[in-house]
Amino acid sequence: MGSEESVMETSRHEALGLSDDQVLEMYRTMLLARKIDERMWLLNRAGKIPFVISCQGQEATQVGAAFALDREKDWLCPYYRDLGMMLVFGQTAKDQMLSAFARAEEPNSAGRQMPGHYGDKRFRVISGSSPVTTQLLHAVGVALAGKMEKKDFVSLTSFGEGSSNQGDFHEGLNFAGVHNLPVIFMCENNKYAISVPIEKQLAGGSVAARGQGYGMPGISVDGNDPLEVYEAVRDAAARARKGEGPTLIEATAYRLVPHSSDDDDRTYREMGEVEEARKKDSLVQFKKYLEDVGILSTESGAELEREIGHIVDEATEYAEQAPYPDPSETYTHVYAE
């Protein structure tokens, strides 16, 4: 991101057709995702919630991608880190905290699933599971249905780079390629599959390069730059809507925290490496960009932090007080009733 660029010239976001308000909203959502995530770690370490799985380091990818979609009609099959994407599509801080506390009111599953297992019919987000990459095929299925029904929505599915080794990745890309389906495969490459780094995960070193084998463009973008991600997803969606088929996008960033609250990343990576990555943290960089283009000031930035802090406090408070599901709920909804 060029901080050296002159504000006098057309800014990058303007060139993408994004207004000042829109990029400020992008930043606000990224910040909200980060703050919710950080709060969850605190709650976990305080013994209040059993589990956290994090979005930290991938907010730019998630928010940039989701902003490029039509939030009224497009479909999502996200994976367990996509907190930023969920906030863009309509879920709230309160929804996240209810999920963390496994409360009855939690919108993904009413307390049945672990946090991060998103699913929300209100926003066309299909419920996901823990075995990775299964959701990818569901996005292909939705795209197939859309094509059969002659609708112009696209489906986007996201997954980690480790998932690009699963059979379902290859079966799904191939299926979508053969049938030319309106689906966007977005790999959020955070450089680690739990403890195993990309060198041990990716033969050939690139997920994007795999697209070629399935007859679709494979595009690499900087996952720390929401505008670059936005542009790639916007273009992919446009292609899909025009009937030009699927796109594979690999957005590379860095997982700033351990895999989950049950993981200790010091056992497999140097903390110096994490410190280096923090310097490129999208929240730092994008904030700088917004200050450089004059959208955010020190004061308004601080005010935004306070506002978000208040939202997170309120959500935490609410969720903690909210009731658990009744034990009888264990037995409901196995089949249609």
Partner 1 sequence: MPVISYIDAVTQALQEEMQRDEKVFVLGEDVGVRGGVFRATDGLYKEFGAERVIDTPLTESAIAGVAIGASVYGMRPVAEMQFADFIMPAYNQIVSEAAKMRYRSNNTWYCPLVIRAPYGGGVHGALYHSQSVEKLFAGVPGLKIVMPSTPYDVKGLLKSAIRDEDPVLFLEHKRCYRLIKGEVPTEDYTVPIGEAEVKREGDDVTVISYGLTLHFALKAAEELEKEGISVHVLDLRTIIPLDKEAILEATVKTGKVLIVHEDNLTGGFGGEVSALISENAFFELDAPIRRLAGPDVPAMPYSPPLEKEFMLNPEKVKTAIRELAEF
Which positions touch partner 1 (CB under 8 A)? 75, 77, 108-110, 112-113, 117, 119-121, 126-127, 129-131, 134, 136-146, 148, 155, 167-168, 171-172, 174-175, 178-179, 332-337
Q: Which is nearer to partner 1, 158 or 282 (CB)?
A: 158
Q: Which is nearer to partner 1, 122 or 279 (CB)?
A: 122
The CB-of-188 to partner 1 minimum distance in angstroms stands at 20
Q: Which is nearer to partner 1, 146 or 258 (CB)?
A: 146
Q: Which is nearer to partner 1, 139 or 208 (CB)?
A: 139
State how far the Cα of 295 lies from the Cα of 298, in Å rounded to an integer. Answer: 10
Indicate the angle between helix axes 59-67 and 282-292, nearest 10 degrees: 60
Q: Which is nearer to partner 1, 24 or 144 (CB)?
A: 144
The CB-of-296 to partner 1 minimum distance in angstroms stands at 38
State how far the Cα of 121 lies from the Cα of 175, in Å rounded to an integer. Answer: 25
What secondary structure does DSSP assign to 228-272, as a single string? HHHHHHHHHHHHHHTT---EEEEEE----S-SBTT--GGGTS-HH
State how far the Cα of 269 lies from the Cα of 49, in Å rounded to an integer. Answer: 26
Q: Which is nearer to partner 1, 171 or 244 (CB)?
A: 171
The CB-of-168 to partner 1 minimum distance in angstroms stands at 6
The CB-of-134 to partner 1 minimum distance in angstroms stands at 5
Q: Which is nearer to partner 1, 272 or 327 (CB)?
A: 327
The CB-of-179 to partner 1 minimum distance in angstroms stands at 8
Checking phi first, is residue 180 left (phi over 0); if not, alpha (psi -120 to 50) or beta?
Answer: left
- Across the strands, what pairs with 53? 260
The CB-of-38 to partner 1 minimum distance in angstroms stands at 27
Residues in Cβ contact with 281 at an 8 Å cutoff, skipping those fewer than 6 apart: 57, 224, 256
Q: Are 248 and 211 in contact (CB under 8 A)?
A: yes
- Strand 247-252 with 218-222, pairing: parallel
State how far the Cα of 38 lies from the Cα of 234, in Å rounded to an integer. Answer: 29
The CB-of-241 to partner 1 minimum distance in angstroms stands at 17
Residue type, 321: Q
> And the tokens for 125?
């987000």
